[in-house]
Each structure stands twice: as C-alpha cells, then as structure tokens.
Chain A
Amino acid sequence: MDKRQNDLKGWLYLLPAMLFLGFFMVYPLVDVFVYSFEEGYNSASQTFFGVGLYNYAYVLHDPYFLQALKNTFILVVITVPLSTIIALLISVGLNSITPLKKLYQTVYFLPYVTNTLAVGLVFMILFKKTAYTDGLANLVLAWFGRGPVDFIDGPYWAKMFVLCFYTIWVVMPFKVLILTSALASVNQDYYNAAKVDGTSPFRIFRKITLPMISPMIFYLVITGFIGAFKAYSDAVALFGTNLNAAEMNTIVGYVYDMLYGDSGGYPSYASAAAILLFAVVFTITLVNLSISKKNVHY
C-alpha cells in the first residue's frame, strides 16, 4: 500500500483523541500559565491591565490561601504515613489467613466504589452535635468519660480530626488492594529459606517482606502525597461548600472558590494558585524519588 495513505490512515484513527486532548488538555495547559500572569483579568470583558507576578503575590498573601495551605499540609502529613502503615498492617494480616480472606477483601474495597459525597454525609451525621442529639461519636466519647465535642462546627482540631479520619477511610481500599497483591507476589522460597534458618517472624518481615514490597510502598507514598495534596471533595462532603467559613478549605478548594461561586470570577488567581499547587506536588515527588533511590530495592 502507498506509504502516504498509511500515514493518513494512522492520523485519522488518532484524530478524535487528538481533538479532545488538544481542546481540553494541551490548550488549557498553556492557557493556565497565560492566565496566571495576566494582571487584573476581567472575565466579563476578557481584558487585563498588564503582565507580571501580581496574581502570585496576591494569592500568597491571601489569608484564605494560607489557611488552605496549612490545612492541606496537616492533612498530608497525618494521613499519608498513617494510612500507609495501617494498610500495611491490614494487608499483612490479610495475607496470613485463608478462610474468609475474600470476604474481608470485598468489604475493605467497598469505600472505593461509594460516592465520597454521599458517605461523607453519613460521617457528618455520625460526628455532628446538634440540639437534638450529641451524635454517635460523642456517645462513644461519653463511654470513656469525655465531654461532647462538635466535630463539624466546633474547634479546629476536632474538624481536622474528622477530615483526616474520613480521608484515611476513603484511601484505604486502594492501598490495601495494592499491598495485598504485592505481598502475595513475594517469592515463597525466601520465606522457606528463612524458616529453615530459624529466623524470627519480625526479622523475616523486616529483612525479607519490607525490602521485597518496598517499590509498591513507595508507589503508594507518592500517589498518597499527590492525592492528599489534591484533597477537596472529602472536605466538601463533611463541612459543606463554604469551606472558607468552616476554616477547612484546601488548596484545590481555594482554586475552585476563586473560579466559581460567591467568591468566584477570578480565573487569574485560580490559575496562580493551581500552578503553586502543582509546583509543590512536583517538588515533593522529586524529593520522594531521590529518597527512594537510596532506600527502595528494585
């Protein structure tokens, strides 16, 4: 067949994908940088005053952004290590049993297929204290003789606790799934050899299991960091759409609030904030990669 005809055919098959990606990914990717440098951009008239770094300066001095930054960092620092460790414990347990293993796996996976907004509402009700009831979380606290706390409209640490708790609950299925299959694929010969030598179970775990699954743990840490930095809908599910008023906004929430809603209409600020977020995530991923070079055994 004619070579040029072949070229044409290849591009024809690619055309729909190229169109969609061009309009909704490549162009926006360039445009977001353009927006972020346009000062005083007006959505209605599509005009702007000048070009410079003002949008970044504005965002970095905005108390709402600083609050969002703080919230996001706390969320990341707490949930990423905790969820990874709990998932590791659960996966090791899961891998050591045979009866009921499938049932447990199915149950653990459920949060992955449930609407975050919907279950978030259930969590809100479990933790909320109203005039009619202290809620279930406070009932449990009362068993231990602790006073009622409003976890949804109350003190900052209580709200952060619920957010972290819910985030861990939501991300657990993915981590358990990945770690369980990683553990199952470790070559049994290593364990048999260790058994012959009479190695203690803890030593086996530290010297064989951990190094063998370290690439997967590392993968989960990276995706965990990225996911936690982009947290948003979990917070909305718990505290409602007005996250600034609840002091519970996240960086992504700040971006959307700048774009749309009562505080919206500022795509330039939104772009600057989104690029700052991307820069943070990118930097942390690079740091993670360089640490892993030293500690991960492939």
Chain B
Amino acid sequence: MNNDFDRIGRASRARRAAVRAVTYALLTFWALMVLFPYYWMLLTSVKSYSAYNGEYVPAFFTLAPTFQNYVSAFSEVPLARYFLNSLIFTVVTTGLMMAVIIPAAFAFARLEFRGKNLVFSLFLALMMIPNELVIITNYQTITGWGLRNSFPGLILPSVTSVFYIYLLRENFAQIPDELYSAAKVDGTTDFKYLTRVMMPICKPTIITIVILKVIECWNSYVWPRLVTDDPAYFLVSNGIQEIRENGFGRENIPAMMAAVVVISVPLIALFLAFRNKVMSGVSRGGIKG
C-alpha cells in the first residue's frame, strides 16, 4: 500500500516538474525572441564598419568592440539635433497637456455648473474618434497658419487627450466631498483646493499620465512626418527614417544601429526606473496594440 502511495506521488511530482520545465522553456523562448533584436542592435553598433561588411555570415559576437559608430552617429548626422527636438517636443507637449487637462478634470469632478453633464457626454463621445480621421484637416489647418516646420505646428494638435481628462476625472471624483466642504469653510479658493489638496492626493495618477504621454510623444511619427520636411525640425522617429534613407550612405549599418541605440535608451531607462507605474498605467489606459 505504502509503495503505491509513493509511486503515485512520485509520478505526479514528475509530471508537475515536466510541465514546469516546458513552461519555463516556452517563456524563455519568447523572452529571447523579445531580447534578440535589442542584442543585435547593441552588437552591431559596436562592430566596426569593415568588420560588419566583411561578415558574409553574421557573427553572434565581436571580439573587437568599437565606439567609433557612436562618434559617427553624433558627428555625421544631426542626431543630437533630433534628440534635442524630441526632448523639447516631449516636455512642452506633456507640460501643456497637463495644464489643460487638470483644470478640465477638476471642473468635471468637483464644480457644479450648467451644461456640465452634456459637455461631459460629448467629451466621452470624442474618445471614439480615431486620430486618422482628424489629422487631414489638422494638416490643412497647420499648413494654412504657416506653422509647418515649427514647434507650435508640431505641438498644438498633439496637446489634447480626452482619455486622460476622463482618467483624471475618475480619480479626482474619488476624493471625499467632506474635504471640499471643510476647505470651503476655511475659505480656501477652488484653485488653491485643486493645487494644494487634489493634485497631491492624485499624484500617482498624474505621474502615470505624464509617463504615458512622454512615451507617446517620444515615439510619435505620423504627425511629425506630415508637418516637417526640414531636418532641423525632425524628431527622433523621423530622424531615424531620414538616416536610413539618406544618412551615412546606405551601407553603414553599424552607425545606424548606434543611432538606434541612442534613441531607444531614454525610454527604456524611464521604463526600468518606473516599471510598476508604467505597467499599471498602461493596463489602465494603454491604447496601443
């Protein structure tokens, strides 16, 4: 009898171990699929031009790493300029957006005024409008205002996001009414209540929104491509496309990869630093995929 128990126990333990091994194998396989392009871009970026072009069969490692490609990336193409443009675009767009959506979310969550519910429903309806539908007229508008190849032209249509207003309003609305009444009794103004009480309480949501918008701005490609054709105003996405089509001469792939590494690092660093914030933010409000 005891032997039977042992045997069945051993068998089920063995089966569980096998399932576990297969699970880890599959997970590791996909992890390698995800990591491999990053490895390849890092590897290629430290191969020298002649070494890379001499490899008919690509080598999986290099024994003579060089940083020459990073020097080329900054000296032969205006990578620093693309980088700076993206930085300005990201900071100003995100800043402006926060300045616009925080008061709007506050008005929807806290203030009482005529027409509030109607406007809020209209805002919610706007969430369903895809960007592709409005970008055509925006292009005509910005061109008409003579704002092509300028920062206002890049930034203005990218500022609003109905979804973030909605997300923030939901968070603001969770703050108990008693706090507001107490503040009112103390004679606090609405603006002071917003900046001193509501914003600190909702700081996690605000940070999440900022991070999501930064990711969106850093990776934006379509709108910048439409309104800029002067490389002096290219953002990193357009810069990388320009480098691919005209920079370095077509064959200098190691230098291209160095440029790709440089523009990928900031967001990866941001993600690793704020891992939990980014992931919870995306699962609440991510729209890509």
Residues of A within 8 A of B (CB): 6-11, 13-14, 16-18, 20-21, 23-29, 31-32, 35, 43, 86, 89-90, 93-94, 96-97, 100, 104-119, 121-123, 125-126, 132-136, 139, 169-175, 177-178, 181, 220, 223-224, 226-227, 230, 232-233, 236, 240-241, 252, 255-256, 259-260, 267, 270-271, 274-275, 277-278, 281
B237, CB-defined interface residue at 8 Å: yes
Q: Is B103's CB under 8 angstroms from A13's CB?
A: yes
4 closest Cβ contacts across the A-B interface?
A10-B113, A174-B289, A28-B137, A28-B134
* 17 residue pairs from A and B, CB less than 8 Å apart: A6-B111, A6-B112, A16-B103, A27-B141, A28-B138, A29-B129, A29-B134, A86-B30, A90-B27, A93-B23, A107-B31, A108-B34, A110-B34, A111-B34, A113-B215, A122-B40, A169-B34
Closest to B238 in A: A117
Q: Is the CB of B279 within 8 A of A177?
A: yes
Q: How far is the CB of A21 from chain B (nearest CB, A)?
A: 5
Q: Is the CB of B136 within 8 A of A259?
A: yes
Chain B residues within 8 Å of A174, by CB: 282, 286, 288-289
B181 at the interface (CB under 8 A from A): no
Indicate whether A21 sits within 8 Å of B160 (C-beta atoms), given known contacts A26-B126, A135-B58, A136-B58: yes
A25-B126 in contact given A97-B24, A278-B133 (Cβ < 8 Å)? yes
Query: B residues within 8 Å of A by Cβ?
Result: 20, 23-24, 26-27, 30-31, 33-35, 37-38, 40-41, 44, 53, 55-58, 99-101, 103-104, 106-108, 111-116, 119, 123, 126, 129-130, 132-141, 156-157, 159-160, 162, 165, 190, 215, 218-219, 221-222, 225-226, 236-237, 240-241, 244-245, 251, 253, 256-257, 260, 263-264, 267-268, 270-272, 275, 278-279, 282-283, 286-289
Give the distance in Å from the alpha carbon of A256 to the alpha carbon of B132 in the complex.
9
Closest chain A residue to B111, Cβ basis:
A10
Chain B residues within 8 Å of A175, by CB: 289
